[in-house]
Amino acid sequence: MRRPFALSKPAQAGLEPQRSAPRGPLRLRPGKAGSAAPTCNTEKAYKSCAVALPAGLIRAMQDNPTQVPLWRQLQGAASLLMAVRDGQSMTAALEDVDAALRPGVQSLGFHALRWLGRAEALRQQLAKRPPPPEADALLCVALALAWNEADAPYTPYVLVDQAVEAAKRSEATTHQASFINGCLRRFLRERDELVAITDKSPQAVWNHPQWWIDRVRKDHPDSWQAILRANNNRASLILRINERKTTPGQYLRGLAAMNIEAYPVGEYGVVLVNAQPIPSLPGFAEGHFSVQDAAAQLAAPLLVKGLAPMHGRGRLNILDACAAPGGKTAHLLELVDADVTALDIDARRCERIGHNLQRLGLQAHIVVGDAGQPDGWWDGMLFDAILLDAPCTASGIVRRHPDVRWLRRPTDIAQLAALQAQLLDTLWPLLKPGGRLVYCTCSVFRAEGDVQIQTFVAHHTDAILMPSPGHLLPQNGVASPASPTLPDNLAGEHDGFYYALLEKRNA
């Protein structure tokens, strides 16, 4: 991957930076994740959810020379865009960015990726022939940040000035500085006209690839615009309260005492109005909460509520397949006294399960293994319940991972749907008669949701589809005329998900 800007300590120390995932066919790995793009609902996803930097930061930088100059942050955001264009997830690319630069680079990078469709359309109007990749990335970042002054983190004139400075200070772009300056100055003069021209492009209006727009429109003809609109908004930080330690009401009162504004969502959730550093929140070390979206919080209760141990066994025997980083495993253990096997193919991610459970004061049987090959880890004892949080396109969590839309390819849907079908077929025999299986994905595509389950039920006569949430579509906060609550959705703030509860007929 090209590294035009010196942003990371490894690069400065002469160490080899992390390589990007190549573009091209999706390389599937049974387990949690199937590609370079992020998968559903990890704690890391929420911690990486960026908040726009304050518009007065430039002045603060001038007053305090220890602050990171904006031009360096713009270089970093351009480097992230190049990484995404090379097929690497932004989360992975951020790991190579120096810690002092990371917060600002992350914030600008998230913003730029949310409005990349508009930026690329504007660049095409300003320069019919694309400049070299390094200059194109920097130009597109500046356009994405500046095109809508009402949403810009800095004034357009400051962004233009600092983008040109960023170009001058990098060997990869210094010869393009005049070109970048000319394009951006023209944009400032002709902004309204140029934006009106790009309004004719669906990719510019909706800031998603055309194939993605077409697919969402086909799958959700009555809701496609609301889905795409929600994807371009920032997602709130949501906590799941550990009811073995406290209650949502008690925790909300504790936040209010610290002047931290928050409100409840769902049965266990708390939404923070303004994002906060996770470790600084009250009760973090004591395990009073986990970070988890409101839609993801439905998985555990859907599986275990009303489920009793069978055949005289005193405790439920539950499998959480594709379990890392352990959010749903922990929720299962918070709700019921059970023997839970937390399975994941990735040993390092299994370590995260252990660390998360330890903080919460919970225990599970953590197993490194492939959910698609139970001969390597299963002891032959049938499960009362199975939670299959299957690998998917992550098309429901674009609010938290704006790079997903640009990383995915149309062929990924069919490849991941095939893997999901294999996992369903493989795990179903491990379930007791009378037992339950919850299938879920953080996807809005029907091929990974109701089409997948209808096909499974049609081919398995012992499978009963129980009342289930089905497709939950992403939405932000309280409904309004401009952003109505979608049919069958939860009230309030959550990501896109799909849920199906299956019960196995008694023989």
pLDDT of the chain, 507 residues: tens digit per residue: 455 665 543 333 222 222 233 333 333 333 333 334 333 333 333 333 333 333 333 333 333 434 889 999 999 999 999 999 999 999 999 999 999 999 999 999 999 999 999 999 999 999 989 999 999 999 999 999 999 999 999 999 999 999 999 999 999 999 999 999 999 999 999 999 999 999 999 999 999 999 999 999 999 999 999 999 999 999 999 999 999 999 999 999 999 999 999 999 999 999 999 989 999 999 999 999 999 999 999 999 999 998 877 665 679 999 999 999 999 999 999 999 999 999 999 999 999 999 999 999 999 999 999 999 999 999 999 999 999 999 999 999 999 999 999 999 999 999 999 999 999 999 999 999 999 999 999 999 999 999 999 999 999 999 999 999 999 999 876 433 343 444 445 557 899 999 999 999 987
Alpha carbon distance 465, 69 (integer Å): 56
Alpha carbon distance 498, 468 (integer Å): 9
Alpha carbon distance 489, 300 (integer Å): 18
What is the per-residue pLDDT across 167-182, written as a single tens digit (0 to 9) for each? 999 999 999 999 999 9
Task: Identify whether the C-beta of residue 251 lies closer than 8 Å to the C-beta of residue 285.
Answer: no
Alpha carbon distance 478, 127 (integer Å): 41
Alpha carbon distance 202, 200 (integer Å): 6
Domains contained in the chain, CATH given: 50-200 (1.10.940.10), 237-291 (3.30.70.1170), 296-504 (3.40.50.150)
CA 19: distance to chain centroid? 21
**Annotated catalytic residue: which of 183, 322, 392, 442?**
442
The contacts of residue 131 (CB under 8 Å, 6+ apart) are 139, 176, 179, 180
Measured between its terminal Cα atoms, the distance across the chain in Å is 56
Indicate the angle between helix axes 102-114 and 116-126, nearest 10 degrees: 70
The DSSP string of 94-161 is HTTS-TTTHHHHHHHHHHHHHTHHHHHHHHHHH-SS---HHHHHHHHHHHHHHS-GGG-SS-HHHHHH
Indicate the angle between helix axes 102-114 and 70-85, nearest 10 degrees: 50
Task: Identify whether the C-beta of residue 136 lies closer than 8 Å to the C-beta of residue 123.
Answer: yes
Return the pLDDT at 219. 98
Task: Identify whether the C-beta of residue 444 lies closer than 8 Å to the C-beta of residue 396.
Answer: yes
Instruction: For Cα atoms 266, 441, 28, give the angle at the middle one, nearest 5 degrees.
Output: 150
Task: Identify whether the C-beta of residue 443 lies closer than 8 Å to the C-beta of residue 471.
Answer: no
Q: Give the global pTM.
A: 0.85
Return the pLDDT at 490. 57
Report the greatest alpha carbon distance in the chain. Answer: 78
Return the pLDDT at 311. 60
Return the pLDDT at 29. 34
Return the pLDDT at 25. 33
Which amino acid is residue 441, in one-letter code? T
What are the tokens at 398?
């674009």
Pick from 426, 425, 412: which is nearest to 456 by CA?
Answer: 425
Q: Indicate the Cα dihedral angle 237, 85, 27, 14, nearest 10°.
A: -90
Task: Identify whether the C-beta of residue 472 lies closer than 8 Å to the C-beta of residue 490.
Answer: yes
Instruction: Mark whether 40 is an active-site residue.
Output: no
Pick from 202, 178, 197, 162: which is nearest to 76 by CA?
Answer: 162
Cβ burial of 12 (10 Å; 0-12, 13-18, 19+) is exposed
Return the pLDDT at 285. 96
